[in-house]
Amino acid sequence: MKLRHKLTGMGKVFACLVLAAIASADAAAGRIVLESGVKQVSLLELYTSEGCRSCPPADAWLAGLMDSPGLWNDFAPLAFHVDYWNSLGWKDRWSLPEFSSRQNTYAQFWHSPNVYTPCFVLNGKEWRGWSSRRKVPPPTGEQVGVLVASSTDTNHWNVSFVPIPMANIKYEAHVALLACGLCSDVKAGENSGRHLQHEFVVLSLTQTGMTISNGLARGSFILAPPPHDLENILALTIWVTSANQLEAIQATGGWLNPVAKSVNH
């Protein structure tokens, strides 16, 4: 189900007031706050693999968005490393079968008989224009609602979403822990001998249901810590969907350790 209605004046005022109240309370409490505006933030997904020789250019294109002014404001990125190339001699250490399953679900939705890498998905739709562009396509400009996520310790998070228009349907929040600045020296397979660099790599993906009351959907989740030996730039991409749907209604995200980002980039 899509929320594709024009925003009424009263609805916009209400959404802004809720956003201001939530963000102000969280900031006053010293919490980390990630928030969207009212306009839709695009969700940009890349399905990739270190075992595929066609993927490094796509990985490099995504890495080029690290310093984009639209990052987190206009679009929120994700790099899902799939596992179906692992049988060709090189196991991608960032790959997970659930990421391959997610891509397969997209393929079924598109009535496509096959999956492939590199594959970009923009707002739930297959996107093939990346190689000829320097930037992500401009956001849709649709006013869909305000999404806010906050935490005091980076592990326990609360998520709130004010949909526009207000709708008493079931929502789900999806949270991806990302790592940037990852490197691999590939020893076998199609990219044997190459030094590969990756940004926005999904380490884990969490999904939680949300309850809605008086036009405000709320949920919470516990974020598993990254591997102990991982000292990279970390970020979150968070998005909300209607229940059992892939297409994001709204998204947001941000850095969890911005000091590390400023030092390493």
DSSP 176-213: EEEEESEEEE--SSTTTT-EEEESSEEEEEEEEEEEEE
Phi, psi of 76 (to 5 degrees): -125, 120
Farthest-apart Cα atoms in the chain, separation = 59
Residue 263, pLDDT score: 40
Rounded percentage of the chain residues whose pLDDT exceeds 90: 73
- Range with the lowest mean pLDDT among 30-44, 68-82, 198-212, 216-230? 216-230
pLDDT digits (tens, 9 = 90+) for 175-191: 999 999 999 999 999 99
Q: Domains of the chain (ranges plus CATH)? A: 9-24+32-264 (2.60.40.10)
Residue 257, pLDDT score: 77
Average pLDDT on 81-109 reads 97
- Range with the lowest mean pLDDT among 45-54, 91-100, 167-176? 167-176
Residue 143 token pair = 């006013």
The residue that leads in pLDDT, 265 or 67, is 67
pLDDT digits (tens, 9 = 90+) for 111-156: 999 999 999 999 999 999 898 888 899 988 999 999 999 999 888 9
Residue 262, pLDDT score: 47
Residue 230 is given by DSSP the state -
**DSSP-derived pairing of the beta strands 145-151 and 32-35:** antiparallel
Burial of residue 53 (CB within 10 Å: 0-12, 13-18, 19+) is middle
- Is pTM, for the whole model, over 0.85? yes
Q: Is 263 helix (H, G, I), strand (E, B) or coil?
A: helix
Rounded percentage of the chain residues whose pLDDT exceeds 70: 85
From residue 248, alpha-carbon distances to 45, 78, 122, 230 in Å are 11, 13, 10, 29
Residue 25, pLDDT score: 58
- What is the secondary structure of 17-56 as a DSSP string? HHHHHHHHHHHHTT-EEEE--SBPPEEEEEEE-TT-TTHH
Average pLDDT on 234-260 reads 90
Averaged confidence pLDDT in the chain: 88
Q: Is 262 helix (H, G, I), strand (E, B) or coil?
A: helix
- Cβ neighbours of residue 259 under 8 Å, at least 6 residues apart? none
Q: How confident is the model at residue 50 (pLDDT cuts 50, 70, 90)?
A: very high
Residue 217, pLDDT score: 95
- What is the secondary structure of 143-159 as a DSSP string? B-EEEEEEESSSSEEEE
pLDDT digits (tens, 9 = 90+) for 17-29: 655 555 555 555 5
What is the spatial distance between Cα 132 and Cα 106, in angstroms, rounded to a whole number?
23
